[in-house]
Amino acid sequence: MTAPDTNVKKQAKRHVGPLIGMVIAVGVALVLLIWFMGRTVSDVPETGQPTPAAVEETQGIPAEGTVSGPGDTGAPQAEEVPPQPAD
């Protein structure tokens, strides 16, 4: 069904405000996108060298007195002393 009373000039006047609002919202979104991309690109060092890794994992025997594993709570570990034979 079509609208019984269509007045194009009246409808154009009613839609000007929302259309301007949508154009402003899209403009703000584009400005923010450009700003964000500029900040992301500017964080790269300008020396041309790659950034070093923050922490490199090492393989091998852990230092004396340390325990690492899934059950490690960080609490001091009790060391078992083997029983000495009676004389």
pLDDT digits (tens, 9 = 90+) for 20-40: 999 999 999 999 999 999 888
Domain ranges of the chain: 10-36
Check if the beta carbon of residue 67 is closer than 8 Å to that of residue 77.
yes
- pLDDT for 20 equals 96
CA 67 centroid distance within chain = 32
Question: Tens digits of per-residue pLDDT, 39-55?
Answer: 888 765 666 666 666 65
Question: Tens digits of per-residue pLDDT, 64-79?
Answer: 665 566 666 666 666 7
What Å distances lie between residue 3 and 6, 7, 8, 9, 12, CA to CA? Answer: 6, 10, 12, 15, 15
- pLDDT for 16 equals 93
DSSP code at position 49: S
